[in-house]
């Protein structure tokens, strides 16, 4: 089903010949939507705007959708949807399992790179945002009909494993019996050992070579470290309710066998050149080159990301790539994309996008750290919120606070504010949903829940405002799918909850009768469904009681 603004927009476009750019009216007396199309046309046509507006109106056929259209001020067009139209829309919306969210005409296969934590380390505050944002993109893009393929680019490869494996051999521990916390502690001991003991450092370097060339014992210990880490990360994915599983694992190690061919291809095409013993690509506009192969012959993060990108397009047939990674890696991804275009691995038709996110700050406005200056573990953040609220509410609080902030902005992790059930918070939206559940449960208990979900009466302005707000749901989901800006969905849901609460205060539901009560109960059902669906897209659980 096509949304009311898009139906109306199409009619106005037909009459005006250009996009009417319908906007929500800024004041109730201006109706529901406004367009400045006549003012824009007047400029190009050299006529008075009000005259152009009158001409557009003559060609415009919207009587079945709107009250008579008004020309306002210098030539704005004001549209007010007929209340029968709004009422019918809400009934149709409720009958539609997608609640008015349209399926895209061009379904794509979208690879989303998230949450991509590192082996031998707990997920930390830096992985909070990639988890929440990546999962929201996953849900929203799926909801509009794209095929989403998460790729968890686990940091499971690199020089740190030389130290780790050596340390395990020195301490004679069985890595498979360790917990992730113990592995993390071991990693710290390995790093200091590496700094303090040149002999250990040498052995660690050789150990990296052994790992990369497939030495059996080294690989076995490495595998144990990976498994312990995965088990620890999986606990966090489950706790966060992420829509990813082991089938989405695509750690850096899987590209090991591809790295030589990445280097060879770039060298043969002249994209990469030798510089001081290293194979590099100098991308115009960047200070530092991409290092494809280091002087010692090793490969690193840059080469691995190039191999991963090539694989995602060539083998996974992605039409679009989205990387949900810390904004500070912006230069890295800009270069990865530029080099991939030069190499022909990223054809014009495939869009690659780094969605960078800002930092999570402590109350002092500085990056959130533990007392001893380490990055805060994600589990600690969740524990802090769960000290104040039940787990689904704590999680809602954290996710909503994260998503309602602009993605590339930093924000302060203010747990006391986040868990409030008033104000622009996740729990407030859960509360609005729970309130509707309660009303509907009471209606069911009293035997007054209408069998037919229909809105036949929509006279009160508060009822009309609620119906209008509900009818905007499909539009906002399409918008978030296109722009990848979840805060717009947050704002929509927050406004909807506000409109709902005004409706609920001023329009008695269970204390009214007949068709009015039926219609209001249907509005409550639609509001509950839209809130639940919208929250689900944010990864937040809708609760029936709080």
Q: How far is the CB of 526 from ligand ARG (least distance, A)?
A: 40
Q: How far apart are CA 146 and CA 144, in angstroms?
A: 6
Query: Taking CB under 6 A as the criterion, which residues in 6-65 touch ligand ARG?
Result: none
**Nearest CA-CA partner of 143 in 473, 490, 491:** 473
Q: How far apart are CA 501 and CA 228, in angstroms?
A: 48
Candidates 31, 42, 100, 113; binder of ligand ARG (CB under 6 A) is 113
Residues 249-288 vs ligand ARG: string with x where CB under 6 A? Answer: ----------------------------------------
Stretch touching ligand ARG by CB under 6 A, among 109-117, 221-229, 345-353, 438-446: 109-117
Candidates 3, 36, 116, 167; binder of ligand ARG (CB under 6 A) is 116
**Is position 153 an interface residue for ligand ARG (rule: CB under 6 A)?**
yes
Q: How far is the CB of 227 from ligand ARG (least distance, A)?
A: 18
* DSSP code at position 175: G
Q: How far is the CB of 323 from ligand ARG (least distance, A)?
A: 6
Of 224 and 305, nearer to ligand ARG (C-beta) is 305
Q: How far is the CB of 333 from ligand ARG (least distance, A)?
A: 8
Both tokens assigned to 204: 């660690």
Of 75 and 115, nearer to ligand ARG (C-beta) is 115
Note every long-range contact of 279-287, with CB atoms under 8 Å and residues 24 or more positions apart, other chains counting: 281/335, 281/339, 281/342, 283/334, 283/335, 283/338, 283/339, 286/331, 286/334, 286/335
Candidates 31, 49, 117, 472; binder of ligand ARG (CB under 6 A) is 117
Query: Taking CB under 6 A as the criterion, which residues in 316-355 touch ligand ARG?
Result: 323, 325
**Is position 184 an interface residue for ligand ARG (rule: CB under 6 A)?**
no
**Nearest CA-CA partner of 60 in 93, 103, 17:** 17
With beta carbons less than 8 A apart as the criterion, state whether 135 and 243 touch: yes
Of 178 and 308, nearer to ligand ARG (C-beta) is 308
Residues 155-174 vs ligand ARG: string with x where CB under 6 A? Answer: x-------------------
**Nearest CA-CA partner of 65 in 47, 38, 84, 46:** 84
**Is position 100 an interface residue for ligand ARG (rule: CB under 6 A)?**
no
Q: How far apart are CA 380 and CA 360, in angstroms?
A: 14
Please state whether beta strands 109-113 and 273-275 pair in parallel, antiparallel, or not at all (unpaired).
Answer: unpaired
| 320-326, strands of its sheet edge to edge | 147-151, 109-113, 320-326, 351-357
Of 135 and 305, nearer to ligand ARG (C-beta) is 305
Q: How far is the CB of 312 from ligand ARG (least distance, A)?
A: 10
**Nearest CA-CA partner of 402 in 365, 357, 353:** 357
Stretch touching ligand ARG by CB under 6 A, among 41-49, 112-120, 197-205, 364-372: 112-120
Stretch touching ligand ARG by CB under 6 A, among 14-22, 80-88, 110-118, 517-525: 110-118
Of 40 and 332, nearer to ligand ARG (C-beta) is 332
Respond yes or no on whether the N-terminal peptide bond of residue 115 is cis (omega within 30° of 0). yes
Stretch touching ligand ARG by CB under 6 A, among 113-121, 178-186, 262-270, 498-506: 113-121
Query: How many residues belong to the site for ligand ARG (CB under 6 A)?
Result: 10
**Nearest CA-CA partner of 480 in 126, 128, 116, 101:** 101
| Kind and range of the H or E run holding 436 | helix 426-445
Backbone angles phi, psi at 394, to 5 degrees: -60, -45
Candidates 135, 302, 305, 462; binder of ligand ARG (CB under 6 A) is 305
Of 12 and 325, nearer to ligand ARG (C-beta) is 325
Q: How far apart are CA 135 and CA 138, in angstroms?
A: 5
Distance (Å) of CA 276 to CA 260, 280, 284, 293, 294: 19, 9, 19, 11, 10
Of 36 and 130, nearer to ligand ARG (C-beta) is 130
Contact footprint for ligand ARG (CB under 6 A): 113, 116-118, 153, 155, 305, 308, 323, 325
């Amino acid at each position: 089903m096509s949304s009311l603004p898009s139906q109306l927009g199409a009619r106005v476009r037909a009459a005006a010949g250009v996009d009417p750019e319908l906007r929500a009216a800024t004041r109730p007396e201006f109706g529901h939507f406004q367009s400045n199309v006549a003012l824009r046309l007047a400029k190009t046509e050299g006529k008075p705007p009000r005259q152009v507006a009158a001409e557009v109106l003559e060609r415009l056929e919207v009587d079945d959708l709107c009250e008579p259209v008004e020309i306002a001020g210098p030539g704005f067009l004001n549209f007010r949807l007929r209340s029968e139209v709004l009422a019918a829309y809400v009934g149709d919306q409720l009958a539609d399992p997608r609640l008015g969210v349209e399926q895209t005409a061009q379904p794509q296969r979208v690879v989303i790179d998230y949450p991509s934590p590192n082996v031998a380390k707990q997920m930390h505050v830096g992985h909070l945002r990639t988890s929440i944002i990546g999962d929201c993109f996953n849900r929203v893009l799926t909801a509009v009909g794209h095929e989403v393929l998460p790729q968890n680019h686990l940091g499971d490869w690199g020089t740190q494993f030389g130290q780790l494996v050596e340390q395990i051999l020195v301490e004679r521990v069985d890595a498979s019996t360790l917990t992730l916390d113990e592995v993390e502690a071991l990693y710290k001991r390995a790093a200091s050992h590496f700094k303090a003991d040149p002999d250990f450092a040498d052995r660690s370097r050789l150990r990296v070579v052994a790992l990369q060339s497939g030495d059996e014992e080294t690989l076995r210990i490495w595998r144990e470290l990976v498994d312990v880490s995965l088990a620890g990360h999986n606990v966090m994915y489950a706790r966060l309710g992420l829509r990813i599983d082991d089938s989405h694992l695509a750690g850096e190690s899987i590209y090991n066998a591809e790295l030589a061919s990445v280097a060879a291809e770039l060298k043969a095409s002249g994209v990469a050149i030798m510089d001081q013993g290293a194979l590099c690509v100098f991308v115009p506009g960047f200070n530092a080159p991409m290092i494809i192969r280091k002087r010692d012959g090793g490969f690193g993060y840059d080469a691995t990301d190039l191999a991963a990108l090539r694989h995602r397009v060539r083998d996974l047939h992605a039409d679009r790539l989205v990387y949900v990674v810390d904004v500070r890696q912006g230069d890295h991804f800009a270069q990865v994309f530029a080099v991939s275009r030069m190499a022909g691995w990223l054809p014009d038709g495939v869009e690659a996008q780094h969605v960078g996110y800002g930092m999570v700050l402590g109350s002092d406005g500085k990056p959130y750290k533990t007392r001893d200056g380490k990055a805060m573990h994600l589990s600690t953040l969740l524990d802090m919120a769960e000290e104040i609220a039940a787990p689904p509410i704590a999680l809602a609080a954290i996710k909503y606070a994260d998503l309602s902030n602009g993605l590339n902005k930093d924000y302060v992790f203010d747990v006391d504010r986040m868990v409030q059930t008033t104000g622009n918070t996740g729990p407030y939206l859960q509360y609005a949903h729970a309130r509707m559940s309660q009303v509907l449960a009471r209606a069911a208990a009293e035997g007054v829940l209408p069998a037919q979900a229909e809105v036949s009466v929509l006279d009160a302005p508060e009822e009309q405002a609620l119906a209008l707000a509900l009818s905007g749901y499909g539009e906002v989901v399409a918008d978030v799918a296109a722009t990848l800006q979840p805060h717009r969905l947050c704002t929509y849901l927050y406004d909807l909850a506000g409109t709902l609460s005004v409706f609920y205060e001023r329009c008695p539901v269970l204390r009214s009768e007949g068709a009015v009560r039926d219609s209001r109960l249907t509005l409550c059902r639609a509001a509950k469904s839209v809130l639940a669906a919208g929250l689900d897209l944010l990864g937040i659980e809708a609760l029936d009681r709080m």
